[in-house]
Chains A and B, each alone.
Chain A
Amino acid sequence: MSVMPPLFGLILAGGASTRMKQDKALLDYHGRPQLHWAYDLVSECCAATFVSVRPDQRDEPTRAALPQIVDREPGIGPLAGISAALLEHPKAAWLVVACDLPFLTSETLRHLVEHRDPGRIATAYRSSHDGLPEPLCAIWEPAAREAVAAALAAGKRCPRKLLMEADAALLALPEARALDNVNTTEEFSAATSALATGAGAQAPGTADAAADARAAITLRVQYFALFREQAGRSEEVLDTTASTPADLYAELRQRHPFTLAPDQLKVAVNADFSDWNARLAHGDTVVFIPPVAGG
């Protein structure tokens, strides 16, 4: 067994930002360009950190201030940036982070690094929205190089699908919102106000305090029909930091082989229908409702 490959950082800033209609790397959530904020956050965990750019972005001033790795196959999305990094430094593992994650915290990155499995091609978080791998806040090991090259050669460009098929190590997100990305001007406004009021994740350095402040609550979850069979029980009591039914369902999907996607369900809290984003309270009883079939 050789030593663990060194960890380098890669900030993805090559996106077209089409829905935002302005360069997402330059948006200001934290008092400076988002690209620089993300670069410093990732640098805390990495031996060296680079910015992934398309050839035509090299001289853009915010990007030009940082070490770069230039896409070799521009125009095909984030997998091109990951591929270029794996080829440029073939002995390094890469902590790949998209620059449009304003709620990301040091704690979320450290948790990923501490739970890294160098025996798999990647270690990633499961999305708190749909339980699928999040490829753009993940560690890609040197062994991923061949899988990425094979995917690109086959015309496959979706890094998420690659991780789903490649048996990546998957972790539960310690903070559900940490990887919420921001793609539109409406989402940008919502994110800046959430950050200003402290509703989102915290700035680097205060993440531990935020985790302490959000103590776990105890919930009762009852299971009916298909859920009862897939969970192997009709109810359970659990301590969780999930603050909404949406967070809770994402968490439960990691513990039970639930096949239903959240958009197929309704949810009840304390025996009445509830919003997916309602605030859960200590002692609440939650029921996820599969598609009904009375009559």
Chain B
Amino acid sequence: MKPFSFSKTPIDPATLRRALEDPAAGGYVAFEGWVRNHNEGQAVTRLEYEAFEALACTEGERIVAEAVRRYGVLKAACVHRVGSLEIGDLAVWVGVSSAHRAEAFAACRYIIDEVKHRVPIWKKEHYVNGDSGWVNCERCAAHAHDHAHPVPEA
């Protein structure tokens, strides 16, 4: 299994966890991200995920490698869905096997947190009232500057 990959079809954690088995492992921690029916006060009916897959896989693999090195765990992997998802669907899975549980929990948390911030994946929410919007993009654009005229970071 690749350390980071995308799936266009439903994710099956039972299959994925087998790739993390190791005789030296004393345990395994997984995180499953699910599609919930609300966000920031709006009722959500379904989601679409889109990714810039070439860069997303590179960055995702960097994150998993960082977690393994930083916490000294045995194996780690992450799979993210793309395409249209319904409420309750599994959107992202992270699994980590390790000799001891503390490192496994820490590495698992590191991976999901970094993936959310660094990997070029975008989420479009569809709402009960028929509206839709790209999360983190549409509202902040409406507030883009009046008098501050920032130059892109070097």
Binding site for B on A (CB under 8 A): 127, 129-130, 132, 158, 161, 222, 224-226, 228, 245-246, 249, 259-268, 271-273, 275-277, 287, 289-295
Contacts and interface: CB of A to CB of B under 8 A. Distances in A.
B140 A264 contact: yes
B135 interface: yes
B150 A225 contact: no
A212 B55 CA distance: 35
Contacts of A265: 152
22 contacts: A129-B151, A132-B149, A158-B147, A225-B124, A226-B122, A249-B152, A259-B141, A263-B150, A264-B141, A268-B52, A268-B120, A271-B55, A275-B154, A290-B134, A291-B140, A292-B121, A293-B137, A294-B49, A294-B119, A295-B33, A295-B91, A295-B112
A224 B150 contact: no
A293 B80 CA distance: 12
Contacts of B14: none
Contacts of B146: 161
Contacts of A276: 152-154
B18 interface: no
Contacts of A228: 50
A293 B120 CA distance: 8
Contacts of B33: 295
B144 A259 contact: yes
A264 to B, nearest CB: 6
A294 B115 contact: yes
A290 B92 contact: no
